[in-house]
């Protein structure tokens, strides 16, 4: 039975994981003929987290007790419901204790670099000592750069210290508010949002133009702030840039600390890819990691999507993960970028990065720095544009294009020999591919 199963698994896991997540598993079906055990839980994050972390352990529990090792399937409750229904029921039933957080969004799994260092430190500070410093904490930045991850990391950390946490997107807050008005149950709503230690609100830019929600949020904010409870918000822009946000909220949002998350630099991107592939159990060579980091633009979410595709192709098509396979997967992405990069862009970028005059690259000068820059331009032009060798020779005002292929060969050799040079090239590629 479910009870027996839970007591078995409880013995094998740590208290925190069990109390917070595993306890929620409900055994729906166990079929010895089909060799399968089906469980249900309330949300997809918990489902996929348990799946990735505990499948083996669950199988072992079955093995120990009834001597079969079934496949494990973890579904959402009542999968027949529409997404909307599930979401609504979650919001309505959500008590502070059952705040829906993705357990894998932790401080540990977040890669820190110059682009997010300050937001990370501030988040860690408010998670450890809520309500004392930086209240509210306002984190802003572009899509897919880790705002939700950091916000939920605060929540997960605070939950571990037995704080009450509410995490909602501003849209959930609004739905909850409207629902409570309709049900004439505002008391419950206010009690819920004003009795927590931390209120974490995601994507507050969507407050834009929602006057009655702004009004209600204003009161929630004041209550919590007066009671020295921690408020953390994220947004894709600064408070002052949120159109249709009333001034009194704008100014309150800036009372504490406002900090941004920027686009990660190449090294941080590489570190994030390494971390994500490790977490997903994918083994990528250094070459593949650099290739992904330099090819894809800034959104980490997009990079994660690629890692999932790599993993899926590898297991479904039984392919070996190598550079060529990854290049193939990203073909469309690269092609799209190629159309956007023009020869003059390459010259001006290389010139400015290497501190020489753009006009020198087209000149007859033969100093080593100019020759080096010219070689890099040629290489990048071949790699990143559709121009032929004669096209490039003509553009650079060179007499014949045989020296183009000579230059290409030399650069390729250098890249193989010299790790530092390779990084310089990758960085340039990265900048060209990601130019606005
Ligand atoms: P946002 O809310 O800013 O749009 P998310 O927090 O949803 O972005 O991040 C998108 C994905 O990228 C998430 O899976 C997140 O774990 C991952 N991610 C972003 N930044 C980092 C980082 N610095 N370290 C690890 N993972 C990151
Ligand atoms: Mg987000």
Average pLDDT, the chain: 87
Tell me the three state secondary structure of residue 72. Answer: strand
Handedness of CA 276, 278, 283, 285 (dihedral sign): positive
- Closest ligand 1 atom number to CA of residue 113: 23
Contact 217, 169 (CB under 8 A): no
Protein residue whose Cα sits closest to atom 27 of ligand 1: 146
Contact 201, 174 (CB under 8 A): no
Ligand 1 pocket residues where CB is under 6 Å = 110-111, 116, 143-149, 272, 275, 300-301, 304
Protein residue whose Cα sits closest to atom 1 of ligand 1: 144
- Quick one: 261 exposed, middle or buried, by C-beta within 10 A (0-12, 13-18, 19+)? buried
- Tell me what pLDDT residue 24 has: 86
Give, in degrees to the nearest 5, the angle at Cα 271 between 269 and 277: 100
Q: How confident is the model at residue 318 (pLDDT cuts 50, 70, 90)?
A: confident
| Sheet containing 230-235: order of strands | 165-169, 198-202, 230-235, 137-141, 257-261
152 C-alpha vs ligand 2 centroid, how far in Å?
Answer: 10
| Between residues 376 and 81, the one the model is more confident about | 376
Number of Cβ atoms within 10 Å of the Cβ of 178: 15
Q: Ligand 1, from 109, 145, 298, 308: best to mutate by most atoms within 8 Å of Cβ?
A: 145
- Tell me what pLDDT residue 146 has: 96
Residue 83 predicted with pLDDT over 80: no
Mean pLDDT (whole number) for 25-29: 87
The ligand that comes nearest to the alpha carbon of residue 275 is: 1
Protein residue whose Cα sits closest to atom 9 of ligand 1: 146
Mean pLDDT (whole number) for 342-368: 90
Number of Cβ atoms within 10 Å of the Cβ of 4: 12
- Closest ligand 1 atom number to CA of residue 142: 3
| Sheet containing 71-76: order of strands | 26-31, 36-41, 71-76
CATH 1.10.10.10, applies to 266-335: no
pLDDT digit string (tens) for 30-71? 888 888 888 888 887 788 888 888 888 898 888 888 888 888
359 C-alpha vs ligand 1 centroid, how far in Å?
Answer: 41
Contact 234, 202 (CB under 8 A): yes
- Closest ligand 1 atom number to CA of residue 152: 6
22 C-alpha vs ligand 2 centroid, how far in Å?
Answer: 26
Q: Ligand 1, from 235, 275, 301: best to mutate by most atoms within 8 Å of Cβ?
A: 301
252 C-alpha vs ligand 2 centroid, how far in Å?
Answer: 22
- In this structure, what DSSP letter does residue 249 have? H
At which residue do the structure tokens 């530092």 appear? 420
262 C-alpha vs ligand 2 centroid, how far in Å?
Answer: 14
Q: Are strands 36-41 and 26-31 parallel, antiparallel or unpaired?
A: antiparallel
pLDDT digit string (tens) for 183-203? 888 999 999 999 899 999 999
147 C-alpha vs ligand 1 centroid, how far in Å?
Answer: 7
The ligand that comes nearest to the alpha carbon of residue 149 is: 1
Q: Which fold has domain 2-76?
A: GMP Synthetase; Chain A, domain 3 (3.30.300)
244 C-alpha vs ligand 1 centroid, how far in Å?
Answer: 27
Contacts of 167 (CB under 8 A, 6+ apart): 99, 100, 101, 151, 152, 155, 200, 202
The b-or-e profile of 80-111 (16+ CB within 10 A means b, else e) is eeeeeebbbeebeebebeebbbbbbbbbeebb
Protein residue whose Cα sits closest to atom 23 of ligand 1: 111
The b-or-e profile of 113-143 (16+ CB within 10 A means b, else e) is bebbebbbebbbbbbeebbeebbbbbbbbee
139 C-alpha vs ligand 1 centroid, how far in Å?
Answer: 13
Which of 23-32, 33-42, 264-273, 329-338 is least confident? 329-338
- Whole-complex ipTM: 0.99
Cα–Cα distance, 35 to 125 (Å, whole number):
48
At which residue do the structure tokens 């994050």 appear? 45
- Integer-rounded Cα radius of gyration of the chain: 27
Cα–Cα distance, 136 to 231 (Å, whole number):
5
Contacts of 400 (CB under 8 A, 6+ apart): 393
The ligand that comes nearest to the alpha carbon of residue 203 is: 2
- Quick one: 234 exposed, middle or buried, by C-beta within 10 A (0-12, 13-18, 19+)? buried
Parse the chain into domains and list their residue ranges.
2-76, 96-261, 266-335, 341-433
- Looking from the CA of 180 toward its CB, the CA atoms found within 13 Å total 21
Protein residue whose Cα sits closest to atom 19 of ligand 1: 146
Protein residue whose Cα sits closest to atom 18 of ligand 1: 146
pLDDT digit string (tens) for 290-306? 889 888 876 888 888 88
- Closest ligand 1 atom number to CA of residue 146: 6
Mean pLDDT (whole number) for 214-243: 96
Cα–Cα distance, 112 to 114 (Å, whole number):
7
| CATH class of the structural domain 96-261 | alpha beta
The ligand that comes nearest to the alpha carbon of residue 113 is: 1
Residue 330 predicted with pLDDT over 90: no
307 C-alpha vs ligand 1 centroid, how far in Å?
Answer: 14
Mean pLDDT (whole number) for 16-33: 85
Tell me which of 3.40.50.740, 3.30.2290.10, 1.10.1750.10, 3.20.20.80 is the CATH number of domain 341-433.
1.10.1750.10
Cα–Cα distance, 96 to 88 (Å, whole number):
16
**Which candidate, 6, 269, 230, 289, places its Cα nearest to that of 113?**
269
């Amino acid at each position: 039975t479910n009870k027996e199963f839970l007591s078995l698994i409880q013995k094998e896991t740590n208290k925190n994981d069990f109390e917070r997540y595993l306890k929620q598993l409900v055994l729906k079906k166990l079929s010895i003929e089909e060799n399968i055990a089906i469980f249900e839980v309330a949300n997809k994050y918990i489902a996929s987290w348990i799946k990735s972390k505990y499948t083996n352990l669950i199988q072992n529990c079955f093995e120990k007790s009834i001597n079969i090792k079934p496949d494990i399937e973890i579904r959402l409750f009542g999968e027949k419901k529409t997404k909307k229904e599930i979401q609504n029921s979650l919001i309505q039933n959500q008590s502070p204790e059952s705040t829906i957080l993705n357990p894998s969004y932790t401080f540990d799994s977040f890669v820190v670099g110059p682009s997010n260092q300050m937001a990370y430190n501030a988040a860690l500070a408010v998670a450890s000592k809520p309500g004392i410093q930086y209240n509210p904490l306002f984190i802003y930045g572009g899509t897919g750069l880790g705002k939700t991850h950091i916000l939920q990391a605060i929540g997960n950390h605070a939950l571990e210290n037995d704080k009450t946490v509410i995490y909602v997107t501003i849209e959930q807050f609004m739905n909850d508010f409207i629902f409570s008005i309709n049900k004439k149950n505002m008391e419950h709503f206010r009690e819920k949002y004003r009795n927590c230690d931390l209120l974490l609100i995601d994507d507050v830019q969507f407050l834009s133009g929602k006057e009655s929600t702004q009004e209600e949020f204003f009161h929630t904010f004041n209550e919590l702030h007066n009671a020295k409870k921690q408020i953390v918000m994220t947004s894709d822009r600064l408070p002052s840039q949120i159109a249709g946000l009333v001034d009194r909220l704008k100014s309150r949002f800036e009372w504490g600390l406002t900090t941004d998350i920027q686009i990660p630099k190449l090294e941080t991107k590489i570190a994030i890819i390494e971390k994500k592939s490790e977490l997903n159990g994918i083994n990528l060579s250094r070459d593949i990691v650099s290739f992904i980091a330099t090819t894809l633009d800034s959104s980490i979410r997009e990079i994660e999507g690629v890692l999932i595709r790599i993993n899926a192709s590898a297991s479904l098509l039984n392919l070996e993960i190598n550079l060529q396979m990854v290049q193939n997967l990203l073909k469309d992405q690269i092609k799209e970028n190629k159309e956007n990069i023009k020869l003059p862009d390459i010259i001006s970028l290389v010139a400015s990065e290497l501190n020489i005059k753009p006009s020198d690259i087209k000149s007859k000068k033969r100093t080593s720095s100019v020759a080096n820059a010219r070689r890099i331009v040629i290489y990048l032009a071949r790699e990143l544009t559709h121009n032929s060798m004669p096209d490039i020779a003509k553009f650079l005002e060179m007499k014949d294009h045989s020296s183009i292929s000579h230059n290409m060969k030399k650069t390729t050799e250098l890249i193989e020999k010299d790790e530092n040079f390779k990084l310089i090239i990758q960085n340039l590629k990265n900048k060209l591919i990601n130019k606005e």
